[in-house]
């Protein structure tokens, strides 16, 4: 395998297959080949949340915490932590004997530097996650004390190696963070060390022999391969050339076929931290959607299960609230809300439209509306075509509009020149991180993507959102969120469609790749091959 | 006219093409009678194979009737083909006619412009235009016309160049006829045959370009067309072959028929070929 540096594409694939197969008999060792799609722009997960970076970087960088499949925090670089009574002081006791891949010691100085200088300043979501952090004290090398302005329980869900990677202060301090050598040559504390990146082909990570967790990692090597063509990816998975593909690397239509094979496993686990939900954004400032009854009527007409079954091949759950049902694990999800029918209710919808003054004319037509669609592929077009039919049944004539990504983003988030827009959002592991941005008055940020484009503004709701964000008591917090969801189900500035399920396809010899709630964005430190 | 039909009839395959084309036009004209419902209508069980659940040619992933889509799509395809060709021929004739008749500086300028358009690969250019204008039936017609007119312009220029020096044109000049009258009444009728032939073939190309655009997702999302059906069905090729196969056959047959007719027109209208036989 030392020849690796000198050989190119085809030979590489063959060697990979051998390297992958030979050690299969052993429980430890082996090379995992995973699909990374598309090729990442860099490996600086402290600068960008781009998807492919998330597949590679968390194997190299670790966070203070990790999360299990129930989204409960488990120790990572912090061996224990303590939140003070008033929620304003969070103390992390760090693991001892952790070293960076270059041999330097990992200390609380690194934590302070990473959070204060990088994450809360230049990370895309960090400024929100760490917005209450005033300062971080470092009484000794193994203790980091976060001083908060207000309680921030959601922050405790944003400390994974994917969301908030700890990076080495000694390699970044005094340098330009965006162009430092570390951007493409990551040095972390994680189970795998970065070895090489052959542009257009693969990224290679080798086992960290000095990893602080005894006996881990089990794999010898992880190779992330870039294969731009979807059917080639499917074929590579089918013949065992690659072992792992997540985030739609293998299209659903092919998964339906592959899942029948014994050598291939399929799971929807590992996306709970991402929590994607598809939805319709209504322009609440313009008729007819300035009237909540019209928004309710739309929600009553749509057969969410039909979309899931016929377009997404059964992978998804109908939405029943502004929050995804995965928040049930943290007690924030509310059930039995109005305007999210299990089956479409056309009579109720027609009645609502009548009440809103949208009466049917001679041809049975009530209104003519343009529906914008997220330009992320064929599935969304099919969804639009279905909605056009379904809404036509209650007299709403729909014209579909499908544009290129920049034009669409500008139309929805800068010009607000739309009536209703089909989209999907990551709700992330806490509503503060992923859900508040739809609804808060402070989230009407013209020009910023994926925020409150409905321009919905409700003082009562704003107050509840603020309370929900700061409430440390779980029971009180869930009461706030129950009320929030009730308001949103009635006002419906955004009608959620369904909770999306991304698919991870893997070789069934690969085990324990799914021990983290982060799934493909996890560290893979326990993954191994079985004979 | 009788003479023309006698010549056209001699080409058997052209007659066959004409019959097929007639059937396609008939299908387009009666689509709303045979399939009165909107072709986007979710008519029943999704992905039914041909012949099952009342679907003659099967249904697609949303349960839309493939046969209804083909019938209604014929209207779109023919309409776009015809409209785009008319625009392209009109523009091409104007540019080519002016360049060929006046020659000199005008010819140079117009031909450089034409060449500029010809150097850009036509399908890529069409994609670009539709993407910029946002997909709608108008923008597709414009895009196809814009990439198609240079060929007409070159052809018409050539015809005008060879005709403008002839005795009958010189006679017109001596009689003091205006340029416009000479162009429209004297020269243009004499080069009509090749224009008709190139126009008929262009309809076929236009249908193919429209299908290609729709296949790539750049069709008008509110109008049923064959390319749209193929684009919507291509991901299902391994599990529901009928969704894109039948519209594909429809395109194949129609384009073939138009080409055969074009060939026949060429045989019948081209004086050089006429003398040979």
Q: Cis before residue A217, ω within 30 degrees of 0? A: yes
B37 touches A at CB < 8 Å? no
How much is the ipTM here? 0.76
Residues whose CB falls within 8 Å of the CB of residue B9, separated by 6 or more in sequence, listed in order: B15
Does residue A430 have a pLDDT over 70? yes
pLDDT at A254: 83
Does residue A448 have a pLDDT over 80? no
8 Å CB contact between B210 and B251:
no
Query: Which residues in chain A have their CB less than 8 angstroms from residue B38's CB?
Result: 389, 392
Segment A197-247, tens digit of pLDDT: 998 899 999 999 889 988 888 999 999 999 877 778 888 998 999 999 998
Q: Rounded to the nearest 5°, which phi and psi values hold at A452? A: -75, 85
A399 touches B at CB < 8 Å? yes
Across the strands, what pairs with A367? A396
pLDDT at B275: 52
CATH code of the region A276-500 = 3.10.105.10
pLDDT greater at residue A375 or residue B253: B253
Q: Domain B2-47+55-276: what homologous superfamily?
A: MetI-like (1.10.3720.10)
What is the distance in angstroms between the Cα of A42 and the nearest Cα belonging to chain B? 30
Over pLDDT 90: what percentage of chain B?
A: 48
Q: Could you give the C-alpha distances from B257 to A134, B246, B248, in angstroms and in order?
A: 76, 16, 14
8 Å CB contact between A436 and A443:
yes
Segment B210-240, tens digit of pLDDT: 989 988 878 888 889 898 888 888 777 777 8
Does residue B107 have a pLDDT over 80? yes
Q: Could you give the C-alpha distances from A391 to A133, A345, A349, A493, B136, in angstroms and in order?
A: 47, 12, 10, 18, 21
Rounded-to-10 torsion of CA A457, A463, A465, A468: -170
> Is B221–A381 a contact, with Cβ atoms under 8 angstroms apart?
yes
pLDDT at A2: 40
Beta strands in A232-356 (DSSP E): 244-245, 264-267, 276-282, 316-318
CATH code of the region A29-60+190-267+503-529 = 3.40.190.10
Selected for mutation to probe chain A from B44, B235, B243 (highest A CB count within 10 Å) is B235
pLDDT band at B272 (very low <50, low <70, confident <90, very high): low
Question: Strands A367-373 and A420-426, how do they pair?
Answer: parallel
Query: Which residues in chain A have their CB less than 8 angstroms from residue B62's CB?
Result: 310-311, 382, 385-386
- Distance CA(A468)–CA(A480), nearest Å, equals 6
Ranking A7-21, A34-48, A62-76, B70-84 by mean pLDDT, the lowest is A7-21
- Which of B61, B222, B239 shows the shortest C-beta gap to A382? B61
Query: Which residues in chain B have their CB less than 8 angstroms from residue A384's CB?
Result: 221
pLDDT band at B271 (very low <50, low <70, confident <90, very high): low
A381 touches B at CB < 8 Å? yes
Whole-structure pTM value: 0.77
Rounded-to-10 torsion of CA A243, A249, A251, A254: -10
pLDDT at A183: 86
Segment A298-344, tens digit of pLDDT: 999 999 999 998 888 888 999 999 999 988 888 899 998 999 998 99
CATH code of the region A65-172 = 3.90.76.10
- Which of A256, A382, A400 shows the shortest C-beta gap to B232? A382
Segment A147-160, tens digit of pLDDT: 999 888 888 888 99
Q: What is the mean pLDDT of chain A?
A: 87
> Is B134–A392 a contact, with Cβ atoms under 8 angstroms apart?
no
pLDDT at A11: 43
Angle CA(A224)–CA(A208)–CA(A52) in degrees, nearest 5?
25
pLDDT band at A13 (very low <50, low <70, confident <90, very high): very low
**For chain A, which residues make up each domain, given as ranges?**
29-60+190-267+503-529, 65-172, 276-500
- Distance CA(A210)–CA(A103), nearest Å, equals 9
Q: What is the largest CA-CA distance in chain B?
A: 75
Ranking A166-175, A346-355, B47-56 by mean pLDDT, the lowest is B47-56
Query: Which residues in chain B have their CB less than 8 angstroms from residue A392's CB?
Result: 38
- Which of B42, B63, B221 shows the shortest C-beta gap to A402? B221
Chain A with chain B: Cβ pairs closer than 8 A = 48
Q: Per-residue pLDDT averaged across A153-180, rounded?
A: 88
Does residue A14 have a pLDDT over 60? no
pLDDT band at A131 (very low <50, low <70, confident <90, very high): confident
Q: Classify residue A325 by burial, with Cβ atoms within 10 Å: 0-12, 13-18, 19+.
A: middle
Helices (H), A356-473: 378-392, 405-413, 431-434, 436-439, 459-470
Q: Classify residue B221 by burial, with Cβ atoms within 10 Å: 0-12, 13-18, 19+.
A: buried
B235 touches A at CB < 8 Å? yes
8 Å CB contact between B156 and B191:
yes
Query: Which residues in chain A have their CB less than 8 angstroms from residue B221's CB?
Result: 381, 384-385, 400-402
pLDDT band at A12 (very low <50, low <70, confident <90, very high): very low
Q: What is the mean pLDDT of chain B?
A: 88
């Amino acid at each position: 395998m030392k020849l690796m540096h000198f050989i190119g594409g085809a030979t590489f694939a063959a060697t990979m297959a051998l390297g992958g197969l030979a050690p299969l008999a052993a429980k430890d060792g082996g090379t995992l080949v995973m699909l990374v799609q598309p090729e990442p722009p860099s490996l600086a997960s402290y600068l960008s949340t781009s998807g492919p970076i998330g597949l590679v970087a968390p194997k190299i960088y670790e966070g203070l915490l990790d999360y299990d499949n129930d989204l409960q925090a488990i120790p990572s670089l912090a061996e224990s932590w303590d939140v003070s009574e008033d929620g304003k002081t969070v103390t992390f006791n760090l693991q001892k004997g952790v070293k960076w891949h270059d041999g330097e010691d990992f200390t609380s100085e690194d934590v302070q530097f990473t959070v204060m200088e990088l994450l809360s300043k230049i990370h895309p979501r960090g400024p929100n996650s760490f917005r209450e952090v005033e300062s971080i004290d470092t009484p000794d090398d193994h203790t980091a004390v976060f001083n908060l302005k207000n309680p921030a329980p959601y922050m405790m869900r944003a400390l994974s190696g994917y969301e908030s990677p700890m990076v080495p202060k000694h390699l970044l301090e005094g340098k330009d963070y965006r162009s430092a050598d570390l951007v493409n040559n990551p040095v972390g504390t994680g189970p795998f060390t970065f070895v090489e990146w052959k542009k257009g082909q693969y990224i290679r990570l080798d086992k960290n022999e000095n990893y602080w967790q005894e006996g881990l990692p089990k794999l010898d090597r992880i190779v992330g391969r870039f294969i731009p063509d979807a059917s080639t990816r499917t074929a590579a998975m089918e013949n065992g050339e690659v072992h792992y593909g997540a985030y739609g690397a293998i299209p659903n239509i092919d998964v339906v076929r592959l899942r029948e094979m014994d050598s291939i496993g399929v799971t929807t686990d590992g996306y709970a931290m991402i929590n994607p939900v598809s939805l319709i954004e209504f322009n609440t400032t313009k008729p007819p959607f300035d009237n909540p009854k019209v928004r309710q009527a739309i929600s009553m007409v749509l057969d969410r299960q039909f979309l899931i079954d016929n377009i997404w091949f059964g992978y998804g759950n109908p939405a029943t609230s502004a929050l995804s049902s995965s928040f049930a694990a943290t007690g924030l999800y509310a059930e039995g809300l109005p305007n999210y029918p299990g089956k479409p209710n056309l009579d109720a919808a027609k009645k609502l439209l009548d009440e809103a003054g949208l009466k049917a004319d001679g041809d049975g037509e009530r209104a003519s509306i343009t529906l914008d669609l997220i330009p992320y592929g064929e599935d969304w077009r099919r969804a639009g075509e279905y909605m056009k039919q379904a809404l036509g049944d209650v007299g709403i004539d729909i014209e579909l509009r499908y544009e290129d990504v920049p034009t669409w983003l500008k139309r929805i988030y800068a010009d607000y020149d739309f009536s209703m827009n089909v989209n999907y959002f990551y709700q992330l592991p806490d509503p503060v991180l992923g859900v508040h941005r739809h609804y808060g008055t402070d989230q009407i940020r013209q020009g910023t993507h994926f925020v409150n484009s409905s321009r919905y503004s409700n003082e009562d709701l704003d107050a509840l959102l603020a309370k929900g964000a700061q409430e440390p008591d779980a029971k009180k917090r869930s009461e706030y969120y129950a009320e929030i969801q009730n308001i949103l189900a009635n006002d419906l500035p955004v009608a959620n469609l369904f909770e999306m399920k991304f698919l991870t396809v893997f070789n069934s010899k690969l085990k324990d790749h799914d021990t983290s709630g982060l799934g493909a964005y996890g560290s893979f430190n326990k993954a191994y091959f079985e004979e | 006219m009788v003479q023309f039909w006698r010549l056209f009839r001699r080409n058997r395959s052209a007659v066959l093409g004409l019959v097929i084309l007639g059937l396609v036009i008939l299908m387009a004209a009666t689509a709303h009678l045979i399939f009165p419902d909107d072709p986007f209508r979710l008519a029943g069980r999704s992905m039914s194979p041909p012949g099952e659940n009342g679907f003659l040619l099967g249904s697609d992933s949303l349960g839309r009737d493939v046969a209804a889509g083909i019938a209604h799509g014929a209207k779109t395809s023919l309409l776009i083909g015809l409209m785009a060709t008319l625009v392209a021929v009109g523009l091409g004739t104007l540019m080519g006619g002016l360049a060929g008749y006046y020659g000199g500086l005008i010819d140079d300028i117009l031909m450089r412009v034409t060449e500029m358009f010809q150097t850009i690969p036509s399908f890529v250019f069409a994609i670009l235009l539709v993407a910029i204008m946002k997909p709608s039936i108008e923008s597709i017609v414009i895009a196809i016309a814009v990439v198609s007119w240079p060929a007409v312009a070159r052809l018409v220029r050539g015809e005008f160049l060879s005709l403008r020096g002839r005795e009958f044109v010189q006679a017109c000049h001596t009689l003091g006829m205006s340029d416009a009258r000479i162009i429209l009444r004297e020269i243009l009728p004499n080069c009509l045959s090749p224009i008709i032939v190139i126009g008929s073939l262009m309809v076929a190309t236009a249908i193919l370009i429209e299908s290609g655009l729709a296949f790539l997702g750049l069709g008008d999302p509110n109008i049923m067309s064959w390319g749209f059906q193929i684009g919507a069905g291509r991901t299902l090729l391994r599990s529901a072959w009928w969704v894109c196969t039948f519209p594909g056959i429809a395109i194949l047959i129609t384009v073939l028929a138009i080409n055969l007719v074009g060939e026949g027109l060429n045989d019948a209208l081209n004086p050089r070929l006429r003398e040979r036989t």
